[in-house]
């Protein structure tokens, strides 16, 4: 439906010579392409949106396309470039008088620091942001996931239990709905909470064909999380199917951050199944990507699996 609308809106905007409508069409195309994982097309749409926003001269639009540019670069897994773009977006937002400029920068900076393995530097500020914005479920979900990567799983489990008390009905349909669900899924996978994993699997399943994207951040293909959850539930065949798809998709679409996460998750799932050879192969790929791109959150766990499974095979 949204894809069809995007295809129809662009020529109409050109016919009417309406730059505001053309910008809306470019934004819609960008979102649809990103959710499909067509990141090259999404980048082209973003660049068009940037040109139109500059032509319109509206400070708010300039800020929006600036933080979206950072988000798209982060989705690609380029943490250093994404951080620079996020800082620039904050500056533009502050100059435009946008009250959320610092909050949005903080969310993107947490993304960078957590996956760099440096989450401890910023987690306290993020906890304050969660307390100050209780109506944003994705923030609290992000905190739960981030705490897991900092080996603070008991705290994450408490957040997860509270969030699941209403079976996540408080996560309302919105641009960040899937983000909240996949971040809670990441926490459920890392805390090995079977009951919550079962709920989240059913909630994420309808989005099984799309990449998570909310314009401020994105956390890879939904099948990654379905695979992690299926592993917790003991459904090894389904976990392998989901994780194979996720790894291949992320590798093919220039998303090394999420390829590394997928290979690490699959390696851990295979280790639980007792498949030492496959565990070692996927852990080695996760380690290679993590060292190449600076994903410090994944590197220690991948290295430990490679060492353990290599020793077991000797």
Own/partner pairs, 34-42, CB within 8 angstroms, 24+ separation: 34/72, 34/75, 34/211, 34/213, 34/218, 35/210, 35/211, 35/213, 36/210, 36/211, 37/211, 37/221, 37/249, 37/253, 37/255, 38/253, 39/72, 39/75, 39/76, 39/253, 39/254, 39/255, 42/72
Q: Is the pLDDT of residue 109 over 50?
A: yes
pLDDT higher than 60, residue 20: yes
The C-alpha angle with vertex 11 and arms to 9 and 15, in degrees rounded to 5, equals 115
123-132 helix and 137-149 helix, angle to the nearest 10 degrees? 160
Provide the angle, in degrees to the nearest 10, between the axes of the packed helices 101-116 and 59-76.
Answer: 10
Residues 167 and 222 in one domain: yes
Q: In terms of domains, do 145 and 205 share one? A: yes
Asked whether residue 154 falls in the same domain as residue 231, the answer is: yes
Mean pLDDT of the region 142-156 = 97
**Which regions of 114-249 does DSSP assign to beta strands (E)?**
211-212, 220-221
> What's the total number of domains in the chain?
2
Domain containing 234 equals 136-249
- Does residue 104 form part of some domain? no
pLDDT of residue 5: 57
Same domain, 242 and 305: no
Residue 297, φ and ψ in degrees, nearest 5: -70, -35
| pLDDT tens digits, 170-225 | 999 888 999 999 999 999 999 999 999 999 999 999 999 999 999 999 999 999 99
Q: Are residues 223 and 268 in the same domain?
A: no
> Of 198, 224, 249, at which residue does a domain stop?
249
pLDDT grade, residue 25 (50/70/90)? Answer: confident
pLDDT of residue 85: 98
Indicate whether 229 and 311 sit together in one domain: no
pLDDT value at position 314?
47
Kindly indicate the confidence band of residue 6, based on its pLDDT and cuts at 50, 70 and 90: low
Statement to judge: residues 244 and 267 lie in one domain: no
Using alpha carbons, select from 228, 240, 300 the residue that is nearest to residue 275: 240
Contact indicator for 46, 68 with CB cutoff of 8 Å: yes
Instruction: Give me the percent of the chain exceeding a pLDDT of 70.
Output: 93
User: How high is the mean pLDDT of the chain?
Assistant: 93
Q: Are residues 184 and 269 in the same domain?
A: no
Would 299 be classed as within a structural domain?
A: yes
What pLDDT was estimated at residue 148?
Answer: 98
pLDDT digits (tens, 9 = 90+) for 43-73: 999 999 999 999 999 999 999 999 999 999 9
Do the domain assignments include residue 154? yes
CB atoms near residue 277 (< 10 Å)? 11
Domain boundary among 249, 271, 290: 249
Domain membership of residue 194 (yes or no) is yes
- Extract long-range pairs of 306-312: CB within 8 Å, 24+ residues apart: 306/280, 308/271, 309/271, 309/276, 309/277, 309/279, 309/280, 309/283, 310/280, 312/276
Side-chain-side CA neighbours of 58 within 13 Å: the count stands at 12
The reply to whether 101 falls in a domain is no
| 225 and 140 inside one domain | yes
Name the domain boundary from 249, 275, 290. Answer: 249
């Amino acid at each position: 439906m949204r894809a069809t609308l995007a295809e129809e809106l662009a020529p109409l905007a050109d016919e009417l010579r309406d730059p505001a409508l053309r910008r809306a069409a470019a934004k819609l195309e960008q979102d649809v392409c990103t959710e499909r994982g067509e990141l090259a097309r999404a980048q082209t749409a973003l660049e068009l949106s940037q040109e139109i926003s500059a032509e319109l001269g509206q400070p708010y639009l300039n800020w929006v396309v600036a933080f979206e540019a950072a988000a798209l670069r982060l989705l690609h897994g380029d943490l250093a470039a994404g951080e620079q773009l996020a800082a620039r977006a904050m500056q533009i937002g502050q100059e435009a008088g946008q009250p959320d400029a610092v909050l949005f920068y903080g969310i993107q900076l947490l993304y960078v620091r957590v996956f760099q393995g440096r989450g401890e530097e910023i987690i306290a500020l993020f906890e304050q942001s969660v307390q100050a914005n209780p109506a944003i479920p994705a923030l609290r979900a992000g905190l739960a996931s981030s705490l897991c990567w900092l080996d603070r799983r008991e705290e994450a489990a408490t957040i997860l239990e509270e969030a699941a008390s209403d079976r996540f009905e408080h996560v309302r349909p919105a641009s960040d709905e899937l983000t909240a669900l996949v971040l809670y899924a990441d926490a459920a996978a890392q805390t090995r909470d079977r009951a919550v994993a079962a709920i989240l699997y059913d909630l994420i399943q309808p989005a099984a064909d799309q990449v998570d994207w909310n314009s401020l951040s994105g956390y890879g293909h939904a099948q990654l999380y379905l695979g992690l959850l299926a592993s917790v539930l003991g459904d090894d065949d389904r976990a392998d199917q989901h994780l194979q798809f996720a790894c291949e998709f992320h590798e093919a679409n220039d998303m090394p951050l999420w390829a590394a996460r997928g290979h690490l998750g699959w390696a851990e799932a295979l280790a639980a199944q007792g498949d030492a050879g496959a565990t070692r192969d996927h852990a080695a790929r996760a380690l290679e990507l993590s060292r190449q791109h600076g994903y410090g959150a994944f590197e220690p766990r991948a290295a430990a699996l490679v060492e353990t499974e290599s020793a077991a095979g000797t």
